[in-house]
Amino acid sequence: MKRPLIVGVMGGGKASPEDADAAYRLGQLIANQGWVLLNGGRSAGIMEASAKGAQEQGGLTVGILPDDNYDMASAYVTIPVLTGMGSARNSINVLSSHVVVACPGGSGTISEIALGLKNNRPVILMNFDIGKIFENYRKQGVLHYEKTPEDVIEKIKKLRQIKE
Amino acid sequence: MKRPLIVGVMGGGKASPEDADAAYRLGQLIANQGWVLLNGGRSAGIMEASAKGAQEQGGLTVGILPDDNYDMASAYVTIPVLTGMGSARNSINVLSSHVVVACPGGSGTISEIALGLKNNRPVILMNFDIGKIFENYRKQGVLHYEKTPEDVIEKIKKLRQIKE
Amino acid sequence: MKRPLIVGVMGGGKASPEDADAAYRLGQLIANQGWVLLNGGRSAGIMEASAKGAQEQGGLTVGILPDDNYDMASAYVTIPVLTGMGSARNSINVLSSHVVVACPGGSGTISEIALGLKNNRPVILMNFDIGKIFENYRKQGVLHYEKTPEDVIEKIKKLRQIKE
Amino acid sequence: MKRPLIVGVMGGGKASPEDADAAYRLGQLIANQGWVLLNGGRSAGIMEASAKGAQEQGGLTVGILPDDNYDMASAYVTIPVLTGMGSARNSINVLSSHVVVACPGGSGTISEIALGLKNNRPVILMNFDIGKIFENYRKQGVLHYEKTPEDVIEKIKKLRQIKE
């Protein structure tokens, strides 16, 4: 059996309504492609929204939780992976993703962008302005900027050379 | 959506033909129940055999790999979680399993039995004699001994109070 | 500067008075040799006793804590390393030790013995009977049995080829 | 015994001669204060320079290595902690530091700044411009900017309310 593409969706535990809507739509589109959505697993912000979008479309959702129990896990995560290791799990989030999409977020999300780039994972920022700190990675073609969920899907197809 | 039961199957990277056969059969039965099989993810021994059994029956298989790349991942693992953290991932294996089944193995497998018990996960030893070291856990009803894959499935149903 | 020898002392968070006394004495002797004592860092059982013994003799003590804060750290640990990763830190405990000494303990201690052997660290059981599960490692000369703190020190000197 | 202050010094595995000189000087000053220097442990860039500075002044240096062996450890690290968990150890680096100083670096260093802020550790950027991404943390008094090693030492004393 061919393994499905795993798309990591990172982003804040707190999200504006617009960002949550976009993450929800991104989750839907990922599921519609038959891809797996992987995120940080909690029932909050971008994590909850993206998992909800994917699972409602019948997609498989994997949540890599910082916790050692299910108390804070999103109900929309099919497979909760309990790491019990707090922020150290951020490294697993990005290593396990073929492509990382970062929605707006705070220091946790930025740590995931940084760890993704460090480990040579392609990272797509969706409507998320983080200034010029990773400009060298953009020039190398590892870091990308897109505005909408639809654009992100197209970019993933290009990066993975997926034909319609 | 109700989350599926996740059954962790631990065991040696090297396995006798008999042990590999039993792990393969256990994987089949887990998939037939609609449960998810979780293991250490590598293409060797009990890991490879149990994932093969489950995936051939259409089951979902999750592999928590010590590695940060796919080189040693089993082809029968649907969702490879790349931890990049060597033996420290043994803790994740058992935390993420509702029930842990330990097939015969070496020091890695014994560390997983110990970590499972430490974290209050029910552990079933399948045809694996480890002496009396965890006798107190057996008396508390956390550690169990079974002979065959079929017996293990029945024990899991009892532990999880699953009715036919 | 030559790096000091790091001796990991594992053992239960609960300890009998006799076992705690032996761990305290072991800590003293490790410090008297100029070695560093490394343990799990908490203010309980073998951890507390061994750190107390070492620090009272002027020795350096390093505690690898499962926690992300100092609440449960032993006052006798000079350098608390906060991992925030629960039992996953057991792997770090043994990897970071040139030699692992295991005092009597429960499932956590046994996981550390197993992880130590898995990673080719010499492991000395001090007055701790764990049956025959790791008999193959004893035959290979990786696992050793000693009765007293004094015997453990002598064994470490032999293993590390340290001359008086 | 009162525990010593642990100052984490982060920064690139590659460093300009000016940045390496500043890190070396910072290491010297940390040791002169009687503080412990903690870093990523490798024999490269800011890690090597800061450990060298501290150890040459008789300071204690702790290196939290991504590796499971000593091959890439700096000779100036007194206590190498072998995590064997790659970038996931970045979380341990900052959790274990009372104060984090970030010298110029790349994605790894930025992940450590982000993880430090996420976990409420005070972070001082030494001559390192990362734009406005963490501006909210600066306003909250968690993120600080200093130009020279001497300024960093003064800032640490203020943050920790250490009197001369």
Q: Which two tokens stand for residue B65?
A: 């790999």
Q: How many CB atoms lie within 10 A of CB A115?
A: 31
Mean pLDDT (chain A, rounded): 97
**Cβ neighbours of residue B2 closer than 8 Å, sequence gap 6 or more:** none
Contacts of A106 in chain D (CB under 8 A): 118, 136
C-alpha to C-alpha distance for A31 and A59, rounded to whole angstroms = 4
C-alpha to C-alpha distance for B56 and B37, rounded to whole angstroms = 12
CA distance between the termini of chain B: 20
Contacts of D80 in chain C (CB under 8 A): 3, 96
ipTM: 0.97
Smallest CA–CA distance from B132 into chain C, residue: C131
Angle between the N-to-C axes of helices C17-32 and C149-159, in degrees from 0 to 180, rounded to the nearest 10:
40
Residue A46: is its pLDDT beyond 80?
Answer: yes
Residue C102: is its pLDDT beyond 80?
Answer: yes
Smallest CA–CA distance from C66 into chain D, residue: D92
Q: Which residues in chain D come in under a pLDDT of 50?
A: none
Q: pLDDT per residue over A115-162, tens digit each? A: 999 999 999 999 999 999 999 999 999 999 999 999 999 999 999 999
Under the banding of pLDDT at 50, 70 and 90, the label for residue A163 is confident
User: Contact A48/A13 with Cβ under 8 angstroms?
Assistant: no
User: Contact A37/A9 with Cβ under 8 angstroms?
Assistant: yes
What's the gap in Å between the CA of D110 and the closest CA on chain A?
6
pLDDT of res. A119: 97
Contacts of A55 in chain B (CB under 8 A): 1
Q: How many CB atoms lie within 10 A of CB C14?
A: 13
- pLDDT above 70 as % of chain A: 99
Smallest CA–CA distance from A79 into chain B, residue: B3
Residue B146: is its pLDDT beyond 70?
Answer: yes
pLDDT of res. C100: 98
- For residue C13, give the 3-state DSSP assignment: coil
Query: How far does CA C5 lie from the centroid of its chain?
Result: 12
Contact A115 D87 (CB under 8 A): yes
Contact C88 B92 (CB under 8 A): yes
pLDDT of res. A134: 97
Q: For residue B107, which of C136, D82, D105 has the smallest C-alpha distance?
A: C136
Quick one: average pLDDT of C114-122?
Answer: 98
Quick one: average pLDDT of A77-82?
Answer: 98
Domain count for chain B, please give it: 1
Beta bridge partners of B126: B146
Smallest CA–CA distance from B88 into chain D, residue: D85
Using an 8 Å CB-CB cutoff, list residues of chain D that contact chain C. Answer: 1, 3-4, 6, 36, 55, 60, 62, 64, 68, 75-85, 91-92, 95-96, 119
| Residue from A83, A85, A92, A111 to probe the interface with C (highest C Cβ count within 10 Å) | A85
C-alpha to C-alpha distance for D66 and D81, rounded to whole angstroms = 9
Smallest CA–CA distance from B7 into chain A, residue: A79
Residue A59 belongs to a domain: yes
Q: pLDDT per residue over B9-49, tens digit each? A: 999 999 999 999 999 999 999 999 999 999 999 999 999 99
C-alpha to C-alpha distance for A49 and A28, rounded to whole angstroms = 10
pLDDT of res. C163: 82
Mode of pairing for the β-strands spanning A79-82 and A61-65 = parallel
C-alpha to C-alpha distance for B78 and B156, rounded to whole angstroms = 23
What's the gap in Å between the CA of A158 and the closest CA on chain B?
22
Q: For residue A7, which of A144, A121, A120, A88 has the smallest C-alpha distance?
A: A121
Place of tokens 């560390």: B111
Q: How many CB pairs under 8 A join A and D?
A: 77
pLDDT of res. D164: 67
Q: For residue A7, which of A111, A159, A110, A118 has the smallest C-alpha distance?
A: A159
Residue A111 belongs to a domain: yes
Mode of pairing for the β-strands spanning C36-39 and C6-10 = parallel
Residue C73: is its pLDDT beyond 70?
Answer: yes
Contacts of A108 in chain C (CB under 8 A): none
Residue C102's domain comprises 6-158
pLDDT of res. D2: 83
C-alpha to C-alpha distance for C105 and C15, rounded to whole angstroms = 7
pLDDT of res. C106: 97
User: Contact B39/B3 with Cβ under 8 angstroms?
Assistant: no
The alpha-helical segments, DSSP class H, found in D57-146 are: 89-95, 107-118, 135-139
pLDDT of res. B163: 82
Q: For residue C64, which of C121, C134, C10, C124 has the smallest C-alpha distance?
A: C10
Contacts of D120 in chain A (CB under 8 A): none
Q: pLDDT per residue over C138-158, tens digit each? A: 999 999 999 999 999 999 999
Smallest CA–CA distance from A116 into chain B, residue: B68
Q: How many CB pairs under 8 A join A and B?
A: 72
Contact A95 B83 (CB under 8 A): yes
In angstroms, the Cα distances linking B131 to B94, C45, C131, D16, D48 are 21, 25, 7, 58, 48
Closest partner CB to C87 (pick from B85, B91, B136): B91
Q: In the complex, which subunits touch D with 3 or more CB pairs below 8 angstroms?
A: A, B, C
Contact B76 A4 (CB under 8 A): no
CATH code: domain of residue C121: 3.40.50.450
The DSSP letter of residue C65 is E
Residue B150 belongs to a domain: no
Residue C142 belongs to a domain: yes
Residue B157 belongs to a domain: no
Residue C40 belongs to a domain: yes
- Report the phi/psi class of residue B21: left, alpha or beta, with left for phi > 0 and alpha for psi in -120 to 50: alpha
Quick one: average pLDDT of B73-99?
Answer: 98
| Residue from B14, B91, B125 to probe the interface with C (highest C Cβ count within 10 Å) | B91
User: Contact B48/B42 with Cβ under 8 angstroms?
Assistant: yes
Residue C1 belongs to a domain: no
**Cβ neighbours of residue C121 closer than 8 Å, sequence gap 6 or more:** C8, C94, C95, C97, C98, C99, C100, C142
- pLDDT above 90 as % of chain C: 97
| Residue from C48, C67, C96, C115 to probe the interface with D (highest D Cβ count within 10 Å) | C96
C-alpha to C-alpha distance for B90 and C91, rounded to whole angstroms = 9
Q: What percent of the residues of chain C are helix, what percent strand, and what percent coil, each to the nearest 5?
A: 40, 20, 40
Residue B162 belongs to a domain: no
Mean pLDDT (chain B, rounded): 97
Q: For residue A60, which of A24, A92, A28, A35 has the smallest C-alpha distance?
A: A35
Mode of pairing for the β-strands spanning B61-65 and B79-82 = parallel
Under the banding of pLDDT at 50, 70 and 90, the label for residue C2 is confident
Smallest CA–CA distance from A86 into chain D, residue: D91
Contact C84 A83 (CB under 8 A): no
Quick one: average pLDDT of B94-113?
Answer: 98
Contact D86 B88 (CB under 8 A): no
Query: How far does CA B10 lie from the centroid of its chain?
Result: 4
- For residue B153, give the 3-state DSSP assignment: helix
